[in-house]
Structure 1
């Protein structure tokens, strides 16, 4: 029987913050996630997408569009959010007794393997995973929550030097860092699995959509475990729309880059020490992350703190200059400088 584990706290728990600190949702500045503050304009979804089950031809079409959009060499599997796949990762190497996870990172990888009774070995870098010979290696690139990056040549070198090991790469935050992406090699390298999130860049996390690039046998196993119609018809219609509108994607990129600059400026002006970043969030040293999170929440600004790195908080992007000023002044009021 699978081990029952306590759930992991994640960002986005706005209702819990309101229960503790009051206010209405519209009064809060929620910067606790790495999700774009901007949402891709929605297409008109045909009624048939809601009324009937999605056909395999629709999923295949979106898979082909995703392959071109992400730069893959094989058609990926559309999945109901990459979190659903993380739950299935232990099945990809059922005889594995150990997994090396480049850490600290997103906690659900460890949770999934621990639940399957697999021993966890935390390593600081991909190179540090080489000596321990764990048959599975997990890397988030760029990493969540500290934005750490592993250059593509290093990933290639590791994969080709360790063909007996399954390398799983989560590229949830790589939409604006294509130079790091390994999707082009997935499917050609049989020991490589690459996951891509749709919702973070497109500001549609609630859609629950992602894509997995891997060898056909791995994709077949995941598809079998996820079952038929795993991705909804409306989700496929929205992805079809998004991948086909280069103009909207370009506009979204520009807005995210502008928001990134505004957020960085606010942090710098508040004398906050930035430890790392991705295009969608900043990781900052504030001395006592839990304390500052509560102080900011008292002013209805929500950020993310971490048990594994107590001095750190993660801050998402402000949507505009007005909110950048609010973030800056709230950080100054709380004195977010590391002590």
Structure 2
């Protein structure tokens, strides 16, 4: 059985508002099992941009689970995060239970009358600022920036991996600061990019707020850990708005160890870069065109993307489709040799026929 209503749901910009339909994200294995009950098990989830080989979780003391986290432990985590992200002062770092809650919080804590969002990109930004009461303009290019009070963008971008040079971001931030606005930069995928990609070292800046994700690079999305980077007063306001014990004891313990392990991060960057190149070759050999991505995912284009999505799902492989760009498919990285072999087998052979989709 095939249910196109699910497989076409994506997390990029839509012309519909959050109140018209929910945003469905990747990783929804139960829904895919219902849609494709005959697919082989276990499912291979390539629908998210999460590292398939996670940071090794250390043995945690029982008190991480039985006691409320000490404020000093959270402060220590923020200091380690400041060093990892090259922020000059730990007072400019606010830890949170994932970046998603920060996206929601910023729209309420720092309301803006008019917000431009550079898309297509992660759709929760649009939804959150719209719920916060702002007027949202979706723009395809920075040259189209309207007279907005603030700008939101992802750098590197999801799903195409586009990177905006730091010099241009600094000029935009200065421009927005002059009108009392904000530049919100979602750096969820910046850990594996060139260090110069991040704007963290430019802090403090009166207009810049940066979001950093822990779970994607470290493959521990369920830990729910993220950070807001901003000037000290703004970071303090975010910390206060989140309230006490915002980050769980296990998340503090794991984050404190992992973020202080640059050797693991360097080895991971090397491994993922080579894995992404291997994935590019597989997709290209299958007749797809690589149009972007990061070391954690690749964005491919093909006229028969819906057929490929269905074919791969029937092989027990989840990918990401995009309603607004029906020729796009996004692929995360397989976790091991078995997953790579299944993907290669599913991609080999005859390509799905274009005739199945006369509307394209």
- TM-score of the superposed pair, with normalisation by structure 1: 0.92
Deviates more, 1:219-228 or 1:68-77: 219-228
The separation in 2 between residues aligned to 1:291 and 1:260, in whole angstroms, is: 23
CA distance 1:336–1:206, change in 2 (3 Å): farther
1:180 alignment counterpart: 197
Counterpart secondary structure, 1:88: helix
Aligned ranges 1:36-55 → 2 under 5 Å: 36-55=51-70
The separation in 2 between residues aligned to 1:332 and 1:118, in whole angstroms, is: 48
Q: 1:228-274 CA distances to partner (integer Å, 9 max, x unpaired)?
A: 10100110000111122233333323332232222122112222111
Counterpart check, 1:287 vs 2:303: yes
CA distance 1:238–1:307, change in 2 (3 Å): same
Counterpart check, 1:146 vs 2:160: yes
Deviation at 1:290, TM superposition (A): 3.5
Deviation at 1:85, TM superposition (A): 0.6
Aligned ranges 1:248-259 → 2 under 5 Å: 248-259=264-275
Q: 1:130-165 CA distances to partner (integer Å, 9 max, x unpaired)?
A: xx1211100100101111111111111211233122
Counterpart secondary structure, 2:26: coil
Deviation at 1:20, TM superposition (A): 1.1
Contact 1:110–1:120 (8 Å) recurs in 2: yes
CA distance 1:25–1:220, change in 2 (3 Å): farther
The separation in 1 between residues aligned to 2:60 and 2:350, in whole angstroms, is: 45
Deviation at 1:106, TM superposition (A): 0.4
Q: Unpaired runs of 5+ in structure 1?
A: none
1:335 alignment counterpart: 351
Deviation at 1:197, TM superposition (A): 0.2
Deviates more, 1:254-263 or 1:103-112: 254-263
2:101 alignment counterpart: 84
2:89 alignment counterpart: 74
Contact 1:28–1:300 (8 Å) recurs in 2: yes
- RMSD after superposition: 2.1
Contact 2:269–2:295 (8 Å) recurs in 1: no
1:213 alignment counterpart: 229
Deviation at 1:49, TM superposition (A): 1.2
1:198 alignment counterpart: 214
For 2:142, which of 104, 126, 129 is the aligned residue?
A: 126
The separation in 2 between residues aligned to 1:173 and 1:337, in whole angstroms, is: 34
Contact 1:270–1:328 (8 Å) recurs in 2: no
Contact 2:41–2:316 (8 Å) recurs in 1: no
CA distance 1:217–1:337, change in 2 (3 Å): farther
Deviation at 1:294, TM superposition (A): 2.0
Q: Unpaired runs of 5+ in structure 2?
A: 1-17, 355-359
1:241 alignment counterpart: 257
